[in-house]
Chains A and B, each alone.
Chain A
Amino acid sequence: MSSMFDVVVVGAGPGGIASAAIAAEAGLRVCLIDDNRGPGGQIWRGMRPQSNTKRPHAREFIDWNERLGGTTCTMWADTQVIDYLAPNTLRVERDGESCDVSYRKLIIATGARERFLPFPGWTLPGVTGAGGLQALVKSGLEVAEKRVVVAGTGPLLLAIAAGLRDAGAKVLAIYEQSPTSRLINLSLTLLSHPGKIVEGIGYALTLRGIPYRTGCWVTSAEGSTHLTQVTVTNGRTRWTHDCDYLASGFHLVPNLELPLLLGCAISDGYVKTSEFQQSSVPDVACVGEVTGIGGLDKALLEGEIAGWFAAGRENKARELSRRLRKFQDFAHRLDQAFALRSELRNLCQPETIVCRCEDIAFSSLQRCTSWREAKLHTRCGMGACQGRICGPQTEFLFDWRSVSVRPPIYPASVSSVAGRPDTARGASETLEHV
């Protein structure tokens, strides 16, 4: 089975929705693909048109969702892109069935995922991502009266703590690994972003009463079958908290699997884009977090630019792209402010698991010299998540470059992969490219 569209957009978060809505409003045949059950991405996870408008960013969601709903855009939810077959054709899988989708223009808006770092006890039930716990609460997890420690790094920790508290959790503290000096630099930057300041103050008010401690990090999590305690340090002393959950996340890393599969050039960890969000590959644009972690406003603006450009409205795209510089600059400053401190490299014990899929311990990886060697000798990164979790960790711990992809880029059924026209080639190349 195959389908043909003028524009295919992969990822239905803010950037994807904006580009799809604008391209479809211009009369193009658009298909919007997402792995989740419905549009929204992570920031708008679980929101519905009738959602409470007081929830952060609900207004933008309602507006854009309405715009998208007013078009003929085709939405494929619960759909994974697994391979790039021929020029301008992707293979996707929905409910175990595969089909091919062709496009004149592709817009990639695959967003970002949380970065996790390993420390003793981080695999215990009860230790979740920070954004991870937030996502679970948005999908029905009750945390009323639960004691939660929020830790790691990044601007999201504040929003996450506020959300947990609204859901009834007792947030014991927020521990931000970045030192105060760096965060002060960032807040000076925020002066040129009025919207961000309002948002920041809003969170600060909500968080009144929750200690926000900078320059502190979790060194271990303890418990037998479930988390019962965490140990925290500021580099000089250590202390503990009894708790039910540790929500631990270290800012975000872009989901580059699809851009890499297509051969898009990467620069400083993000997809390199020219004017109008175009990547180095013809007919492929990238928007949102894959071009730099900058949040909602940047993603929406980039989505609009790519949408207008796909629709052939270059003037409109150019007009909007003048506003982009400020957001890109902000993304860069976020990366600097929340850069990881070197002490976080020393948390693992020899037996601490790094690759959770295959249970590969830190000591096994210390014996390897590269990501490729680790994959071949230990199976690190060869499990179900395909290195999405341990890849960014080993980049930080060992300075390995883990960015390499082989199809299928998402676990797929054998029949979906078997139909690949060049299966034979794939087999012979496997050893060279792992």
Chain B
Amino acid sequence: MTDSFIIKVNQSEVRVTSETSVAAAMMMAGAHCRISVRGEHRAPLCGMGICMECRATVNGLKHQRTCQLLCAPAMEVVTE
């Protein structure tokens, strides 16, 4: 196991490694990724970059496919 570190998901902190995807971190933090057109909470579905349900704002960048993105120290992830 590689060294672990903390990232921030919305207002909570979650311990991850550099091999954890941001989508997995969001799920472990109990956060949903985006709010749909009609206001439903959505979380990862396909896990492989196709469904786009895991889009969230990462370090200020919007619409990031979090399942295709690895965690990095001091990362800040926000539901969109």
A residues sitting closer than 8 Å to B (CB atoms) are 35-37, 42, 45-46, 78, 113-114, 116, 123, 125-129, 131-137, 139-142, 225-226, 353, 356-359, 383-385, 388-389, 411
Contacts and interface: CB of A to CB of B under 8 A. Distances in A.
Contacts of A135: 46-48, 67
Contacts of B30: 226
Interface string B40-80: 11111111111111010000000100011011000000000
Contact of A37 (B27, B36, B43, B68): B68
A102 B54 CA distance: 33
B43 A384 contact: no
B48 A132 contact: yes
A139 B24 contact: yes
Interface of B: 16-17, 19-21, 23-25, 27-28, 30, 32, 36-38, 40-53, 55, 63, 67-68, 70-71
Nearest to A379: B37
Contact of B47 (A126, A131, A353, A359): A131
B36 A136 contact: no
Contacts of A226: 30
Contact of A113 (B40, B50, B67): B50
A127, A132, A139, A356: residue with the most chain B Cβ atoms closer than 10 Å: A139
Given A42-B48, A139-B47, A388-B51, 12 more contacts: A45-B48, A125-B32, A128-B44, A132-B46, A132-B48, A135-B48, A139-B20, A139-B23, A140-B71, A141-B24, A141-B28, A356-B51
Contacts of B63: 384
B51 to A, nearest CB: 5
Contact of A134 (B47, B51, B68): B47
28 contacts: A36-B49, A37-B68, A113-B48, A113-B50, A114-B46, A123-B40, A125-B42, A126-B43, A128-B44, A128-B46, A128-B47, A131-B48, A132-B44, A133-B47, A135-B46, A135-B48, A136-B27, A136-B67, A139-B47, A140-B25, A141-B20, A141-B24, A141-B28, A226-B30, A359-B38, A388-B50, A389-B46, A389-B50
Nearest to A80: B49
B47 A140 contact: no
A46 B21 CA distance: 11
Which has the most chain B C-beta neighbours within 10 Å: A45, A131, A137, A141? Answer: A141
Q: For the complex of A and B, list the 3 residue pairs with the smallest distance between their C-beta atoms, beginning with the closest.
A: A140-B20, A135-B47, A125-B43
B21 A35 contact: no
A113 B46 contact: yes
A136 B23 contact: yes
A132 B36 contact: no
A378 to B, nearest CB: 12
A133 B46 CA distance: 8
